[in-house]
Chain A
């Protein structure tokens, strides 16, 4: 013990210096380096947060610049071309109007066998076009008329606001003035989204092509008013019970 004390007194200054150095090294590893790491992590977090805030600010500005009425009218226009549900009655109306405009006579109109008319519960049975990703209603019409009229029907069916696609047709002439045509076609529909994108989701703005497409749709004649107001909460009035009084 005496030797140790003697040694300490002998190397007092050096021992204090080494002690301070040791303290500095320990403080560096225990305090400074972890704090530095935390600060760097915070810096990166802030950078991410800054990007998020910028994106949200942009989204907010975009939403503020939009008019709800304008959006509703655009959606109404878009759903007039491709309805949000099957709308079979309006499909029949559209075919009837097309037939009368083309001056042909409708001999037969049938929906493809796998169509579910009455309920949406059989949606899985409905055909879906894989290239488009939209469900479709297949139908076949049998028409009679002159060459020009039947040609007019083929022209009109792809020039109206409810979008149809001719899958096949078979045109046979009995004589020079009249012919019979069987046309297989599809009517498209596309359900409205049931969920709203999340707050952080990027707002999909309409491109120039989309605006052009909307203009193109608006030019096509609208055969039947079929669209209900979408995404609007509906308030149902309770029915009055006539036997209740």
Chain B
């Protein structure tokens, strides 16, 4: 009810809050703290953003500068990549080349040129040699030489594929093996 002499129906001053004093003060402090934290975080994030943006621009400029330099040196780059590519391929080519002269040297240990009738190497590397020996003893010596070369690791898997004994005691025989080059 309005007091006497006052026309205000509403009270001009708030009456004491119904909330306990401690709760209201905590709410107040919490609100101020949240605003302060918000401001601090906002300032930090903004500062970091602008610094990173500046760094980004500087890096982009550097990248463009280096890119232009690389484009200016594109002939060198082309030459370099062509050499590198060719070297990789050339190394592979060198690996597949086989020094068959060394094979002939090894075969020469088994049979001298006069005794050798045929030497053939197929695409898989399998070698067949045909030898004409003048006697059985000579044939045995040659066979022993092949066995010795196999033990040395120069030949692999020797195999006697044919053997002909002639009227004049001469022997024509063929041995196949895989040379290790």
Contact = CB atoms under 8 A, between A and B. Distances in A.
Interface stretch (A92-100, A108-116, A201-209): A201-209
A179 B31 CA distance: 107
A107 interface: no
Contact of B81 (A12, A28, A170, A204): A204
B90 A81 contact: yes
Contacts of A179: 113
A154 to B, nearest CB: 4
A88 B127 CA distance: 30
Contacts of A5: 10
A210 interface: yes
A10 B80 contact: no
A124 interface: no
Contacts of B87: 78, 206, 210, 213-214
Q: Tell me the dominant secondary structure on chain A's binding face.
A: helix
Given A2-B10, A52-B63, A60 B83 contact: no
Given A17-B28, A35-B45, A71-B80, A24 B85 contact: no
Contact of B77 (A6, A17, A63, A82): A63
Nearest to A155: B101
Given A42-B56, A49-B63, A165-B96, A133 B38 contact: no
B165 interface: no
B78 A193 contact: yes
Given A164-B97, A165-B97, A172-B118, A21 B34 contact: yes
A39 interface: yes
Interface stretch (B64-72, B135-143, B146-154, B170-178): B64-72
Nearest to B9: A2
Contacts of B27: 13-14, 17-18, 21
Interface in B15-52: 15, 17-19, 23-24, 27-28, 30-32, 34-35, 37-38, 41-42, 45-46, 48-49, 52
Contacts of B24: 13-14, 17
A216 B41 CA distance: 66
A56 B79 contact: no
A63 B59 contact: no
Mostly helix, strand, loop or mixed at chain B's interface? helix
A167 interface: yes
B160 interface: no
Given A23-B35, A60-B66, 17 more contacts: A9-B10, A10-B15, A13-B27, A13-B28, A25-B34, A39-B48, A46-B59, A68-B75, A71-B76, A151-B101, A154-B104, A166-B97, A168-B120, A179-B113, A205-B80, A210-B83, A230-B79
Interface of B: 10-11, 14-15, 17-19, 23-24, 27-28, 30-32, 34-35, 37-38, 41-42, 45-46, 48-49, 52-53, 55-56, 59-60, 62-63, 66-67, 69-71, 73-87, 89-94, 96-101, 104-105, 113-114, 116-123
Shortest Cβ-Cβ A-B pairs, 10 listed: A155-B101, A56-B66, A20-B31, A147-B113, A24-B34, A71-B79, A17-B27, A204-B84, A17-B31, A63-B73
18 contacts: A10-B18, A12-B14, A13-B24, A14-B19, A14-B24, A16-B31, A32-B41, A36-B45, A49-B56, A53-B63, A66-B80, A81-B93, A131-B96, A154-B101, A165-B98, A166-B121, A169-B100, A210-B83
